[in-house]
Structure 1
């Protein structure tokens, strides 16, 4: 999908009377009630994308399948005529899906200004159910912490049980390999800040006694279970694994994994990493589906948190904006969990760093308030300490306080990957590149699963570049950008690495991409905000950005 010029936005008003107006002042003349509803259905979707069949069900189900499909095509044609030449840039249409370009959509208005899609009522059951849900719990546009209301505390992370894998055709025999594999997968998953893993001993003791999935769920109180069997084939073994929703019994996926026996027994972790990664990705996608398919109060806490963190780290503005209400809702449900306030604080840090904050001073204060509240609730929470260190370092430039937070976090939890990562980044900023590389490499060894692998790679690249290891840093930052091309910090790091390698034209091209995402970026502004500005490293990076074409003022 192409991008609009940065100064052109379509302002959508969904509270009160619907309106769609370009930032220049011209309004879209959309007279059809169903086409207004179509725009709203897309604008409120995850990534602003819906399938054609979903849209037909909501707006044209009474017409039947064939006529519904034709009505949707005709509706899109009518929109194309009304919008004109901008249609191709505003919409992305495929055989199966219809999407809006989230980069150019800007929401205006608030619930206080009127009912959600006031006056739009369509006699289709699907749409009626959807609009009633939206009006019952309209999208939240404010984020003042004082509105958080206490509620019953509950588990805030999705719980997973990894049952020992059984040997095919020998279910009562020796399963040492399957037991070892399950234990390693459990250890890998436990490194994530977003997953609770039932201890291997608990899962192991239940496996041979409880054959019923409902019994496993009741005994372990888990949302997800992975189990399966393996067979040996000479020097290799093949694992057939099923990943299940423990409540419904639904098989989320059923896949085969293979490895050399000697590689696994000698410490090779490729198969473990592959299984763990696919579990993590499935939990993320399932959580987003749960969190966006029903009113927030009805969504389980673990789905709210995982989907909120996932959307936050996508760093596309539409997804990022949707993350905050999810995290705020789980705080309302569980107001005494320290880590939740830390996640909200991190949202504000990313907002400032991405250039999306409309009031930097206010958002810096909110971020600081969030992490302060987290530490008030639990002063020994390593994750909260790490995020407060991030606030102190990146927003407040209180380097000594930040270092104290990181040091305390890794003292409390030597396996806290985020604390090691941010500690390394601080050393990169203050001209201590060798330490920075050491700490960020350790963080990557301990690094959690998606959604923020790109974040670890980006900051690790920053450490390498600070240590003048430009080629190694470039490889990492390019890997990071493949995962998240909108991360402006990664683009800045890439420019510095390319300049350090003498690849000036590529640096210039990257600077153009960076300015498309951050059009107000200047060297003066960069030096005012960046924590490394007062050190040699920051001055060198600023010079590299200037040489690549970032304007002085």
Structure 2
């Protein structure tokens, strides 16, 4: 049972939007903008969205300063209209969120009491905000809701969906329900810092859920937690030091209290221009540490660990590990939280095509596209899923404009996601936005500072430096990638060309020798083949001077 001192709200989105207390009393705000704000947050992963994104949806026609002022007033009125014990609506200079400790969201799709023949209720029926951005958003959500209602009716009518045999050939043998991230409640006595702690925890939880395979739970006084044999507890504390804020994060065993990992990071002052970047970097840092615990930590379970290790192995570009990665990720294909794992399976196929290890390039391409589409259908707001769809669009569908649109969406949905910024950088380069690509790549490198497989992230920064024609720095990052992983073939390919253009012929020859040992049949002439994985070198014109060199 939950502690009686905690008040709870239920937000219903099927039919007219309704906000109700636990006793059933209706506290729905009268303002259409306030209702729209609730709908925007309730449909987000982790109930959290960037503040500027919400402002753009509700006041897109207003000057930025006026829109920001209108949003602040809307938040103030909403809190005043729904006064409960607890900070149910969280806000800072960066994000807005509903606290799931106080608010539960109901879409009506889980209502098994409705007969399957009943007409689908409209999503947020009657909600009408005269803003073109919101009108587009609500129209798309209503179409999505109708589609999901039809899918539910089909399932209840016992009409099983047949999956494509090509990508569903592995029978599921694992489940993802054993690993739990338990979020401890905020501890600060300072209301502003307490709200910040809640928001940080929710953003970390959302980022972990985007990776896939972990159940998120929120710890609450008086609530008995079970099934914690394979769990990690996350607790964050914030402290003021002058105008700045320090963030302490602890990962521990929820049963014994044993500490797995602890860290302190210093953030700029709340509301400052640099706070947003500090915040995103801190969330990415703790997310990485949490993922490492599920991949390599001392928990007793194995299924989530297998999935996380498979993703890490994909980023090594080691083709000898690809079959094992596919087998592990495919074994979770029927799990409800497996959309991101489908997206990583699509990423694997892109790598197989680019690295020339696919036995049938056409079939592998078709599988990648099918997996990417299915992942988007399952979790259309997951930044990892959207980013991998952009990757597929760019390299297999050969559509730079589609990749650019998806990549922009992935960064908007995942401002703390390094993989989103990486694919955004690649898409920007493909449409000629070299400066945007450079900035995004640098941001990806910052956000990935705590990620394993540093060679992968260094080579991505190498690509960005080539796009900005900074060949000396590009060579530096290619060399770092090679030093971190001597058998990482992409770094050797780029070292050959970059060493040559920088006048280091001895370095170019050494890289040729090493790559030839790892890639039988390699020749310099392949650098100009359209399907050889050096498109960044070709676009920069760095391959022409290499022709005729001896291997």
- TM-score, normalised relative to structure 2: 0.54
Shift of 1:311: 2.5
For residue 234 of structure 2, the aligned residue among 222, 226, 232 is 226
Give the distance between the partners of 1:228 and 1:423, measured in 2 at CA: 30
Q: Say whether residues 1:161 and 2:177 are aligned partners.
A: no
2:441 maps to 1:440: yes
1:325-344 alignment runs, 5 A limit: 325-334=327-336, 337-344=338-345
Q: Tell me, in whole angstroms, the C-alpha distance in 2 between the residues paired with 1:410 and 1:188.
A: 16
State the SS of the aligned residue for 1:330. coil
Q: Do the aligned partners of 2:285 and 2:447 also contact (CA within 8 Å) in 1?
A: no
Q: CA deviation at 1:154?
A: 6.1
Which residue is 2:45 aligned to?
none
Give the total of aligned pairs: 380
Larger helix share, 1 or 2: 1
- Partner of 1:243: helix, strand, or coil? strand
Q: Tell me by how many angstroms 1:486 deviates.
A: 3.3
Conserved in 2, the CA contact under 8 Å of 1:308 and 1:326?
yes
- Output aligned runs, 1:247-266, within 5 Å: 249=256, 251=258, 253=260, 257=263
Say if 1:386 and 1:405, in contact at 8 Å, map to a contact too.
Answer: yes
Equivalent pair of 2:354/2:531 in contact (CA under 8 Å): no
Q: Return closer, same or farther for 1:475/1:284 CA change in 2, 3 Å cut-off.
A: farther
Q: Is 1:323–2:325 an aligned residue pair? A: yes
Provide structure 1 residue ranges, at least 5 long, that are not aligned to the other structure.
1-142, 167-172, 292-298
Whether 2:292 is the aligned partner of 1:281: answer yes
What is residue 383 of structure 1 aligned with on the other side?
Answer: 384
Q: Give the equivalent residue in structure 2 for 1:370.
A: 371
Contact 1:309–1:451 under 8 Å retained in 2:
no
**What is the TM-score normalised by the length of structure 1?**
0.54
User: Residue 169 of structure 2 is aligned with which of 136, 147, 156?
Assistant: 147
How far did 1:346 drift? Answer: 0.8
Q: Secondary structure at the match of 2:542?
A: helix
**Structure 2 CA distance, aligned partners of 1:323 and 1:534?**
26
SS at match of 2:251: strand
- What is the Cα-based RMSD across aligned positions, in Å? 4.8
Give 1:491 deviation, angstroms: 2.6
Contact 1:382–1:416, Cα closer than 8 Å, also in 2? yes
Q: What is residue 466 of structure 1 aligned with on the other side? A: 467
Q: Structure 2: how far apart are the matches of 1:309 and 1:179? A: 33
Contiguous gaps of at least 5 residues in structure 2: 1-164
What is the match of residue 500 of structure 2? 499
Go from structure 1 to structure 2 and tell me whether the alpha carbon gap of 1:391 and 1:525 turns closer, same or farther (over 3 Å shift).
Answer: farther
**Inter-CA distance 274–401: structure 2 relative to 1 (3 Å threshold):** closer
1:444 Cα deviation from its structure 2 partner: 3.5
Counterparts of residues 42-441 of structure 1 (less than 5 Å): 144-147=166-169, 159-162=181-184, 164=186, 184=200, 187=203, 190-191=206-207, 193-194=210-211, 206=220, 209=221, 217-218=225-226, 223-227=231-235, 243-246=251-254, 249=256, 251=258, 253=260, 257=263, 277-286=288-297, 290-291=301-302, 299=303, 302-334=304-336, 337-378=338-379, 381-410=382-411, 416-429=417-430, 432-441=433-442
Secondary structure in structure 2 of the residue aligned to 1:224: strand
